[in-house]
Structure 1
Amino acid sequence: MRLSSLATRLFISATIWVVLILFVTGIALSSLYQQAVERSFDRRLNLYLRTLIAEVAPPEDADDKITPALGEPLFELPLSGWYWQIVRLDGGRRSNPSKPDERASRSLWDQKLPKLEDQGIPLNTAGVRVGYVKGPEDQQLRVVERPVDFGADGKFVVTIAGDATEIFEETRTFDFYLMATFVALTFGLLLTTLFQVRFGLAPLKRITSGLTSIRAGTAERLEGSFPVEIAPLARETNALLDANREIVERARTHVGNLAHAVKTPLSVIVNEAVAHRDEPFASKVLEQAEVMRNQVAHHLERARIAARLTAVTTLTDIAPVVESLQRTMEKIHHDRDIEIETDIAAPLKFRGERQDLEEMVGNLVDNACKWARSRVRIEVSLGSAMPDDAMTMVCIVVDDDGPGLTLAERAQVARRGQRLDETKPGSGLGLSIVTDLVQLYRGSLNLGVSPFGGLRAELLLPVG
């Protein structure tokens, strides 16, 4: 997984959790605030209720037409949203039959308030009912209702109602400021989270850069200090690199020992066969010994390369290798007057060992010089990536003006030990070795037709 992808996923996850937590918290705070406003409003209504009950329970000789004075002018303003109402529940035993069964504030204007009891709202522990109803003008009212027993005067329900707009407006105002605060808090938390994610993953990016440098051959270990959480990873990675390097060194040693162990018996066999060259059996032994030497050389070289490629790769300048091969091949083939041209577009580097590059390009150039009539051209440029790999490649093209090869011949020459012309020097292992090396470096070798009429060998190798 790329670090950018991990950082994005962590940020999205943190964002979802922050928004979810703040959303739930906002709903809870809004609900708690509304309940607090309702309790405050209810205390106000209960104060009016107690005052009203005290006012409407006068002595027997009191004037029943006196209107209770609650100290609130809105109870006198018609349809103001603030109302009181007293309703008799039963006739009872009256000391004064002239007392009315219902009394109400002037603000009700001959209207009636609905009973909370009819809506199924029970009495609370304080002996009152509290709830919302619709008023005469379809206002939303907050109502406190209490049944009262006035003894001989009968049982009454005393109701106080206030305009609930105050509650809703208070709650809406609180919700607005709460939402604005939470939006600002959300952005602040997200910015903080983004900073923490980037800062927290910075050591992992350093490890990624360090591994890239190791793979590119510009470093051998992860250097620098890391946080305590990341330090074990860096330490184990360096230990793995050291162990890998030791394994490679042991493999190289074993390859060298095997080479010496095998070559000595072969040399003895060849010497004994040479001493009896005239015998048919000796000739056969010499022939097979030569095949064995070629096979041993081929597989030991392949093992040596494979062991080297498991280690940290190095970078090799391509231009000096190509120029050195040009001079060498001109000297080797000076008697044939072969002209070797080079065209190096830029100072490119090969991600691998110099001797492997010399092996691959040298075989291709030597093969071109053997078959060319008068001209060989080496071109080095930056090529496209392999179809299944994102690694950038360097393209080395070797053209000659020789007879070229047919499609079937191109497939044949890549096989180990195959030679189309026995008159030309060589063992037939050159292109096979190149093919093996190219595969180990995850490159490609393509044979085609040269613009000069001969063979074109196109080599794609990883660039440094």
Structure 2
Amino acid sequence: MRGSSLATRLFLSATAWVVVILAITGIVLSSVYRQASERAFDRRLNLYLRTLVAEVATPDEPPERQFQSLGEPLFDLPLSGWYWQIARTDTDKLELRASRSLWDRKLSRLEEQGVELTAAGVRQGYVDGPEGQNLRMVERPVDLGADGKFLVTVAGDATEIFEETRTFDYYLAGTFLALSIGLVLTTIFQVRFGLAPLKRISDSIADIRSGRAERLEGEFPVEIAPLARETNALIDANRKIVERARTHVGNLAHAIKTPLSVIINEAAAHPGDAFAAKVLEQADVMRDQVTHHLQRARIAARLTVVGTVTEVAPVIEALRRTMEKIHRERCIAIDVEAAAAAKFRGERQDLEEMVGNLVDNACKWAEARVFIEVALEPAGAADPGAVLRIMVDDDGRGLSAAERAQVLRRGQRLDESKPGSGLGLSIVTDLAALYGGSLKLGEAPIGGLRAELLLPGV
């Protein structure tokens, strides 16, 4: 049940237990009822058996009137399934008396099947009858001393037992089926409404993560309220930590940039000094590194804030207008095709920096056209969330595979005649990685370079 919800697992578990318990209970009850039916049937057979034994032990009646007091007409109906038989066992010559229902047949003996005598001195069991009936039989050996030894047997059609048991099983199955349905419906009700507060918390956390809410709101049961309270406390603590991190980053930026500015100003006051020129060169490198790492620290701090969401289309449109003004002299046409519902799970200024670097780079290398396409791909089975795909194409000369790998490295420039420091694409790569995204370079359908930026979307 991998990936299944808690409600589904609870429901399946409860249903399985209900089925197992009812099945075991049904088997036990059916077995008990069958044994009760057999005991009732045996009492009836034993009544006839005792009557026959009394007749054998006190043969006061004439032979033609013996064994007429059983009171069961089925003993006179041929092959009815109800039989009695008296056999003498102390002589080699078979002396046999039997009910009219047996005709010229005879009954099997339980003794021959290895059935032992009970404490009451009888044997009980099932045998096959003359017409293939399944008979329930009781037999009792009787020792009359000088009058001889006899084996008295009474058998009845066991169909009565089986039909009674089968009827009971049908009623039992119907009752348990109705009970199972009732229990399953009760379980569904309990799982559905009992776990509803957890579903509300899950939906509320999803709203916080997507930026639609800031805290868990609403009333929760007393069992769930502590979870909601601690979750809100965790969100508040997280925001305070982020604020402190932002403050420290700002203080560090101010503390480092001010001495660097002093060093640069002092070195610039000696333009002809080789040492001053070296200081200026290294100070510029230091300033770039400080800016880069402070930017990473600032972004990392912002990424811990839950629920920041930015609409993409307005950002792209604003960048288009800005870039058209910047590159007005080259008459670069910037076309945009952006999904109106696309949203970026992050802050606006980070999206502006990443896309701005890509569009600015495309405008520098384009001949006449830049095309920006924004698409939002919904979450799939293997993806935890939606993917925002931003593609920036130009119609310039493009780059080879080796050149594409080179320009992604920090500070690498292919053409020194183009303005810039060579940090743009590497900054985009770093920022995208901090958000769990990536930057890919390839060939654009319009002939130049395609920069494909993948970011978390909403």
For normalisation by structure 2, the TM-score amounts to: 0.88
Can you list the C-alpha shifts for 1:185-233, whole angstroms capped at 9, x where unaligned?
A: 3344334334433444433333332222222121222333344444444
Cα distance change on mapping 1:121 and 1:385 into 2, 3 Å: closer
Whole-angstrom distance in 2 between the partners of 1:237 and 1:39: 66
- Amino acid aligned to 2:48: Y
Whole-angstrom distance in 2 between the partners of 1:207 and 1:303: 32
2:86–2:153 Cα contact (<8 Å) kept:
yes
Q: What residue is the counterpart of 1:94 in the other structure?
A: none
Q: What residue is the counterpart of 2:62 in the other structure?
A: 63
- Amino acid aligned to 1:82: W
1:49–1:160 Cα contact (<8 Å) kept:
yes
- Amino acid aligned to 1:66: R
1:153 to 2:152 alignment: no
Gaps of 5+ in 1: 92-99
2:339–2:374 Cα contact (<8 Å) kept:
yes
Q: What residue is the counterpart of 2:386 in the other structure?
A: 392
Whole-angstrom distance in 1 between the partners of 2:379 and 2:171: 57
Query: What pairs with 1:418-457 in structure 2 (closer than 5 Å)?
Result: 418-457=412-451
Cα distance change on mapping 1:387 and 1:437 into 2, 3 Å: farther
1:175 to 2:169 alignment: yes
1:32 to 2:32 alignment: yes
Match of 2:442, SS state, is strand
- Amino acid aligned to 2:406: Q
* Stretch deviating more after TM superposition (216-225 or 326-335): 326-335
Deviation at 1:356, TM superposition (A): 0.5
* Stretch deviating more after TM superposition (249-258 or 406-415): 406-415
Can you list the C-alpha shifts for 1:303-360, whole angstroms capped at 9, x where unaligned?
A: 1111111221422122222222233233333444444343334342222110011111
Whole-angstrom distance in 1 between the partners of 2:87 and 2:246: 109
Deviation at 1:150, TM superposition (A): 3.9
Whole-angstrom distance in 2 between the partners of 1:301 and 1:199: 48
Whole-angstrom distance in 1 between the partners of 2:382 and 2:160: 70
Deviation at 1:44, TM superposition (A): 1.1
Whole-angstrom distance in 1 between the partners of 2:130 and 2:12: 52
Can you list the C-alpha shifts for 1:376-434, whole angstroms capped at 9, x where unaligned?
A: 44333345879974533333333344444343333222221222333433322222111
Q: What residue is the counterpart of 2:361 in the other structure?
A: 367
1:343–1:380 Cα contact (<8 Å) kept:
yes
Can you list the C-alpha shifts for 1:146-190, whole angstroms capped at 9, x where unaligned?
A: 233445534433222222221122122222332333334334433
2:134–2:158 Cα contact (<8 Å) kept:
yes
* Stretch deviating more after TM superposition (309-318 or 229-238): 229-238
- Amino acid aligned to 2:306: V
- Amino acid aligned to 2:26: G
- Amino acid aligned to 2:110: L
Identity %: 73
Cα distance change on mapping 1:35 and 1:155 into 2, 3 Å: same
Query: What pairs with 1:240-251 in structure 2 (closer than 5 Å)?
Result: 240-251=234-245
Deviation at 1:373, TM superposition (A): 4.6
- Amino acid aligned to 1:51: T
Cα distance change on mapping 1:133 and 1:409 into 2, 3 Å: closer
- Amino acid aligned to 1:29: L
Q: What residue is the counterpart of 2:48 in the other structure?
A: 48
2:127–2:135 Cα contact (<8 Å) kept:
yes
Whole-angstrom distance in 2 between the partners of 1:147 and 1:386: 81
Whole-angstrom distance in 2 between the partners of 1:410 and 1:387: 32
Match of 2:22, SS state, is helix
Cα distance change on mapping 1:406 and 1:105 into 2, 3 Å: closer
Cα distance change on mapping 1:333 and 1:44 into 2, 3 Å: same
Whole-angstrom distance in 2 between the partners of 1:450 and 1:50: 106
Cα distance change on mapping 1:73 and 1:413 into 2, 3 Å: same
Cα distance change on mapping 1:282 and 1:153 into 2, 3 Å: same
Q: What residue is the counterpart of 1:258 in the other structure?
A: 252
Cα distance change on mapping 1:423 and 1:113 into 2, 3 Å: closer
Whole-angstrom distance in 1 between the partners of 2:132 and 2:329: 116
Match of 2:65, SS state, is coil
* Stretch deviating more after TM superposition (356-365 or 50-59): 50-59
Whole-angstrom distance in 2 between the partners of 1:174 and 1:212: 54
Cα distance change on mapping 1:286 and 1:122 into 2, 3 Å: same
Q: What residue is the counterpart of 1:86 in the other structure?
A: 86
- Amino acid aligned to 2:281: E
Whole-angstrom distance in 1 between the partners of 2:163 and 2:441: 84
Deviation at 1:143, TM superposition (A): 1.7
Q: What is the aligned-residue RMSD (CA, Å)?
A: 2.9
- Amino acid aligned to 1:282: A
Q: Which of residues 101, 109, 113 in structure 2 aligns to 1:115? A: 109
Deviation at 1:436, TM superposition (A): 0.9
